[in-house]
Amino acid sequence: MPYFDAASSAPLHPVARQALLAALDEGWADPARLYREGRRARLLLDAAREAAAEAVGCRPDELAFTPSGTRAVHEGIAGALAGRRRAGRRLIVSAVEHSSVLHTAGAHEADGGRVTEVPVDRTGRIAPGAYAAALREAPDGVALACLQSANHEVGTLQPVAEAAEECAAAGVPLLVDAAQSLGWGPTEGNWSLLTASAHKWGGPAGVGLLAVRKGVRFRTVQPADERESGRSPGFENLPAIVAAAASLRAVRAEAAAEAERLRGLVDRIRAQVPELVPEVEVVGDPERRLPHLVTFSCLYVDGEALLHELDRAEFSVSSGSSCTSSTLTPSHVLRAMGVLSEGNVRVSLPRGTTEAEVDRFLELLPGVVADVREHLGAPKPAEAAPGPDPDPEPELVVDSLGKRCPIPVIELAKVISEVPVGGVVTVLSDDEAARLDIPAWCEMRGQTYEGERPADRGVAYRVRRRA
């Protein structure tokens, strides 16, 4: 069964498995003890730290191992904010950061701190000079800025080196979440703190990395002990740490060749999906992106149903669609980008993915999407296209209150041709996804979105027929 969700968690690399088994025999003792078994464990821990630090591009004594990438983010942000409390209490983040960053920002705000969110363009990338502008316009002192190296949902690479220079010029440290990119190469630029997660590159789950450059003011918030420089207290999971470091070195050795190969497979998906499946938007930067990841959204499709059908066809993929979420709100990444969220599919190819697997996915996808659309009563492409102008009223109201993604957009598509060119369709909806998907539908279908206004129990979205 092809597994196409490496961005969530990559399959365990063979080197990680070998190192893990060996370390279970040799690295079970306490590395803080001076007897023989403890010294042997300490040698393994030091070797793992040196290997990981070389891959990160920092000194070994700047790197701490944490129980997860999320913990590394939480401890990194909290420690930098606490260490620079005198400089100010403002935190700057991009709108598409991982939820671990945004959750920490929310906790900081709840504690009386302030947060500035830097917007992104339609590809998910911050604009050149965006962090310099945010720093310049901040009304008070900035303690820390955060920027991911690559987006986990759409694969867009961020200009980390440029942002790091802008932050350095202002005397503000930059924390980089490198979880998605570290397995492909080092993070460029003069960053101050960096976090990563081993299971993203094929290491075992339960190991994160937190690098803090010398000279960065940092104060651990939680109770500390003598382990990991006091930045991540508790007994180290030494076998997992050894396996994480060994697999990071192994994937780096393969990265150049595998990136070129997987980029070719992703290019094929990016090019062929819009040709094979009508009404699809491929999102993310087409060039400045991770080599193994592509995301696309399908109009008139329930994201959860689509993922279930692909699973039945033996393909494991992920989604940022609101239809797959119990909150019924679209992914914060897709929302910040202003792109279609319904029927969203993220394909992230693990190392070793074959051409035959990609060919089979492209062969099956059109039928799967068509079946889901038919089940939902979505208009066929010919039906969705505007027909000749009829005589009815120049304005229609579509009541989609209580109906969830993608039904409001399906009902809009069914009636748009019932108003003349220049006429208006008003869609009433209480589904948060409609706020994103109706404007995206207008963009894709060549219609004019005229905005929203409050309505009883929901929101009224106005669409003017232009084509």
**Contact by Cβ (8 Å): 328, 405:** yes
Please return the burial class of 95, using the count of CB atoms within 10 Å of its CB with bins 0-12, 13-18 and 19+. middle
What is the residue whose two structure tokens read 């969220």?
Answer: 341
Tokens of 113: 């701190």
CB environment 285-317: b (16+ within 10 A), e (fewer): beeebbbbbbbbbbbbbbbbbbbebbeebebeb
Beta bridge partners of 150: 157
Amino acid at 170: A
Amino acid at 464: R
**Contact by Cβ (8 Å): 358, 389:** no
| Cα 64–chain centre separation | 24
Q: Where in 253-368 does DSSP place strands (E)?
A: 280-283, 293-298, 344-348
Span between the terminal Cα atoms of the chain, in Å: 44
Let me know if 323 is a catalytic residue. yes
Measuring CA to CA, which residue among 12, 6, 341 is closest to residue 204?
12
Q: Catalytic residue among 58, 146, 167, 323, which?
A: 323
- φ, ψ dihedrals at 3, nearest 5°: -105, 110
Report cis status (omega within 30 of 0) of the bond before 330.
no
How far, in Å, CA of 391 to CA of 411, rounded?
20
How far, in Å, CA of 243 to CA of 207, rounded?
9
Secondary structure class of 198 (helix, strand, coil): helix
What is the residue whose two structure tokens read 């609101």?
Answer: 322
How far, in Å, CA of 64 to CA of 72, rounded?
9
Catalytic residues: 323
